[in-house]
Amino acid sequence: MQNAKDSFYMALRTRLAAINPERTILLRNAVRPGILVEEAEAPFSQLPGDVFVLRWLGLGMDLDLGSTMVAEQCELIYQTCGTQSFGGLDRGRSLSEMDEELAAIMQPFYTPKLNYTTTPPAAMLTKVFWDEPEFGPIAIQRDQLSRSAKVMVYSYQEQGE
């Protein structure tokens, strides 16, 4: 499932950079598109604001098909305090903008599966596909608004995976 998870993340990252190149994060002295995989980063004492944090939750398999299909639930968490120039009073607008960006980067609901352990990444035989995201309610914690969206990501296992 690792190739599918990497392909899903890289597809969202590429799409985010195209939709909103200003949504970035500085990590390990590199400016990157504002989406990261929680399990691939050092632990945070608090999740970063104004970026999407991808968290993998649960794994399932369907062995009754001609090929094994694997599915894993992904949660995308994001939060904002708004902008300093508006004193945070635009936090609702900022969260809505992130909602729209997330909905946009999810489409289309598939991407080619690539093996990122090689340079350049090697194309595999199948695709990675996913459901529409299910957006959770807004959570309010002091001056911060946050939301999460969950999506099931599917992939067929290929030989050697």
Other Cβ atoms closer than 10 A to 73: 15
What is the CATH code for 2-156? 3.30.2000
Q: 65 or 61, which is more confident?
A: 61
How many other CB atoms are found less than 10 A from the CB of residue 65?
9
Q: Give the domain ranges of the chain.
A: 2-156
pLDDT of 91: 87
**pLDDT digit string (tens) for 103-122?**
999 999 999 999 999 999 99
Burial state string for 126-144 with b = 16 or more CB within 10 A and e = fewer than 16: bebbbeebeeeeeeeeeeb
Q: What is the dihedral of CA 144, 88, 13, 1, to 10 degrees?
A: 0
pLDDT of 125 > 70? The answer is: yes
CB 36 within 8 A of CB 25: yes
